[in-house]
């Protein structure tokens, strides 16, 4: 298929706390887009503060998809995300609008942009439960050691705190006899089936880390602890996928008496900074991305919006001359 025949797909991603949400709203309003959330935690209802979930008032009348669609006890994974995202995209195309995938879960984004094939591996819930039980009993490091034995390349890329991804890799090996690292490498080499505009928003590390620390402080002020207490009181188990999210697992540890509140708060900041670093490492491996460093534009949101929207409009042939796009 020729590039011009492919359907356009816009991706706006970057590390946590870089400012994706604000830019995505302005961009969608400017180019006639609808937003598909690529955040593995914002799918859950009742998890608003800890996920920095956009509020209806902040949406600026821009339609949003894949937000608040599941209960906190429900299972969610990359396969389900891919299915729901594709379904949302077809509806957006049918309405004559542009889909904009926004979020920081790189693996989820790749599943759509590269049309990753997950059909080889069917979910075995008994195996999944067995692996979660093993992690609870022996710890994340022991689970990581099991992964290292069967797939060293995957173990090198997946942090031992990411129990969900480790289990996914072990499931793949158990069910197919192959290595998920090799499968992912093969899938990553596929030519994207979309006319892709893939933007990675970033900022200098000291700015980004400062944003993260202030965001966590604001979350605590806004009632993150009460949010976690409410979820726990409602019967959401600590082992739930939703409770592995940043902020939730640390405060669950506080509520279980394992950490002081100060220790839990500092751990959220530390783990979020580490997460942002891993996000940047992931995006550096992606092909066809356009890096947008906010410091290059003096952190001027209007300038950044004009650059991003101009590239899209020029690429879609909506400007008679490329220079005309700069002010659109």
CB atoms within 10 A of CB 70: 16
Provide the pLDDT for residue 320: 46
- Residue 214 domain-assigned (yes or no): no
Query: Measured on CA atoms in the order 47, 53, 282, 118, is the torsion positive or negative?
Result: positive
- 91: domain CATH number is 3.40.50.300
Provide the pLDDT for residue 2: 62
**150 in the same domain as 50:** no
- 138: domain CATH number is 1.10.20.140
**196 in the same domain as 177:** no
Question: Do residues 117 and 15 lie in contact, with contact meaning Cβ atoms separated by under 8 Å?
Answer: no
**73 in the same domain as 47:** yes
**285 in the same domain as 178:** no
Provide the pLDDT for residue 324: 46
Question: Do residues 98 and 31 lie in contact, with contact meaning Cβ atoms separated by under 8 Å?
Answer: yes
Provide the pLDDT for residue 319: 61
Residue for token pair 């919006």? 305
**108 in the same domain as 151:** no
**103 in the same domain as 25:** yes
Q: How many folded domains does the chain comprise?
A: 2
pLDDT in tens, 41-98: 999 999 999 999 999 999 999 999 999 999 999 989 898 999 999 999 999 999 999 9
Query: Measured on CA atoms in the order 23, 68, 123, 128, is the torsion positive or negative?
Result: positive
- Residue 239 domain-assigned (yes or no): no
- Residue 264 domain-assigned (yes or no): no
- Residue 63 domain-assigned (yes or no): yes
- Residue 321 domain-assigned (yes or no): yes
Domain limits at 312?
3-116+191-209+280-325
Residues of the chain scoring pLDDT < 70: 1-4, 119-124, 187-191, 319-328
- Residue 272 domain-assigned (yes or no): no
**109 in the same domain as 161:** no
């Amino acid at each position: 298929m020729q590039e011009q025949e492919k359907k356009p797909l816009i991706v706006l991603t970057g590390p946590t706390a870089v400012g994706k949400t604000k830019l995505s709203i302005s961009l969608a309003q400017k180019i006639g887009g609808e937003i598909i959330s690529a955040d593995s935690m914002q799918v859950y209802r009742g998890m608003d503060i800890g996920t920095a979930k956009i509020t209806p008032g902040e949406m600026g009348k821009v339609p949003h998809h894949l937000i608040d669609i599941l209960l906190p006890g429900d299972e969610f994974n990359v396969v389900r995300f891919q299915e729901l995202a594709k379904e949302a995209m077809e509806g957006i195309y049918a309405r004559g609008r542009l889909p904009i995938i926004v979020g920081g879960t790189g693996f989820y984004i790749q599943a759509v942009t590269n049309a990753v094939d997950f059909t080889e591996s069917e979910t075995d819930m008994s195996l999944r439960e067995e692996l979660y039980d093993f992690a609870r009993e022996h710890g994340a490091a022991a689970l990581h050691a099991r992964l290292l034995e069967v797939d060293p390349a995957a173990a090198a890329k997946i942090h031992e705190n990411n129990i969900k991804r480790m289990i996914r890799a072990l499931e793949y090996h158990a069910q197919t006899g192959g290595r998920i690292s090799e499968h992912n490498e093969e899938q990553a080499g596929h030519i994207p089936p979309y006319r892709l505009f893939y933007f990675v928003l970033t900022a200098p590390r000291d700015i980004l880390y400062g944003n993260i620390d202030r965001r966590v402080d604001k979350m605590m002020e806004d009632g993150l602890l009460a949010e976690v207490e409410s979820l726990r009181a409602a019967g959401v188990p600590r082992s739930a996928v939703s409770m592995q999210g940043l902020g939730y697992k640390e405060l669950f540890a506080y509520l279980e008496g394992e950490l002081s509140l100060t220790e839990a708060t500092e751990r959220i900041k530390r783990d979020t900074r580490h997460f942002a670093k891993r996000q940047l490492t992931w995006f550096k491996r992606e092909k066809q991305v356009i890096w947008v460093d906010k410091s290059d534009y003096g952190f001027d949101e209007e300038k950044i919006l004009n650059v991003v929207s101009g590239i899209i409009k020029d690429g879609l042939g909506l400007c008679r001359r490329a220079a005309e796009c700069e002010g659109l």
